Copies of this chain bind each other. A is one copy, B any other.
Amino acid sequence: MDTRPIGVFDSGVGGLTVVKQIMKVMPHENIVYFGDTARVPYGTKSKEAVTKYSKQNVRFLLSKGVKAIIVACNTASSNSIDALRDTFDVPIFGVVVPGVEEALLSTKNKKIGVIGTPGTVRSGAYEKMICEKDGEMQVFTKACPLFVPLAEEGWTDNEVSRQAAKRYLDELVEKGIDSLVLGCTHYPLLKRCIGTTVGDAIKLVDPAKATALRVMHFLGERNQLNQEDAEGKKQFYLSDSTDTFQFVCEKALKFPYQPQIIDIERY
């Protein structure tokens, strides 16, 4: 048994959808969350910038004595996970591999859509990994840069988000996909709007749950799960104070939080 916390970081608040899934499958785990709200978003920034920021985030989480780290941000998972694993000894999990595995289980016609930030789409991580696993797969990607600010504005299902979804997603629907990977941790917040736009025939794949399960299996195999009776403690750290965090935290996690602000540039 290992009672050390699991570290989770995201560019901002989107990673809370991953925390929610960890809490579901591993309710006894202590969690340290870091949201880089001072430098959000990552999705429109270069690979170099995202990797630099991600390294600082890992160093911060290591200072909290974590036993494993989840990169809850798709942009960082797609662009920086190799650099992180090369640099640090701690087990590091991204969201792309679990998302890919879910998508492969979901599709029947071998046509998969992937939506994400410009940085995630530019990296090519999803299509590369999907096609490595099954060369017959067809993958259609689309960057949806406005979905993050829409989620942060709380416009998760109104006429603005629906118009934006239509503009982004119609071309994927026309390709005949039967599964659509929500390749950004913010996007589950827009699930209803996205689902209405693409229709019931297309299954939405959220990598968050598969990511939590993957980490659970990893820790279980090594006898590192926290088996204390109490519910795990949660610590939230941000690099800047923000109203959005409170909004999403209450919406996604449905419990009060007490984030502490830290200076991430020092790590």
Contacts and interface: CB of A to CB of B under 8 A. Distances in A.
Interface of A: 37-39, 44-46, 48-49, 118, 145-146, 148-150, 152-153, 155, 158-160, 163-164, 167, 239-244, 265
B244 A44 contact: yes
Nearest to A150: B146
A145 B151 CA distance: 11
A243 B167 CA distance: 20
A159 B149 CA distance: 17
Contact of A39 (B38, B146, B164): B38
A46 B240 contact: yes
A57 to B, nearest CB: 14
A163 B146 CA distance: 14
A242 B45 contact: yes
Given A240-B45, A242-B45, A265-B265, A155 B146 contact: yes
Contact of A146 (B38, B153, B265): B153
Contacts of A150: 146
Contacts of A240: 45-46, 48-49
A256 to B, nearest CB: 20
A76 to B, nearest CB: 14
A39 B44 CA distance: 10
A162 to B, nearest CB: 9
Given A163-B160, A164-B160, A38 B49 contact: yes
B265 A46 contact: no
A44 B241 contact: no
A155 B159 CA distance: 16
A171 to B, nearest CB: 15
B152 A242 contact: no
A246 to B, nearest CB: 13
A21 B185 CA distance: 40
19 contacts: A38-B45, A39-B39, A44-B242, A46-B241, A118-B243, A145-B149, A145-B153, A146-B146, A146-B150, A146-B153, A146-B155, A146-B160, A148-B149, A149-B149, A159-B167, A160-B160, A160-B163, A160-B164, A160-B167
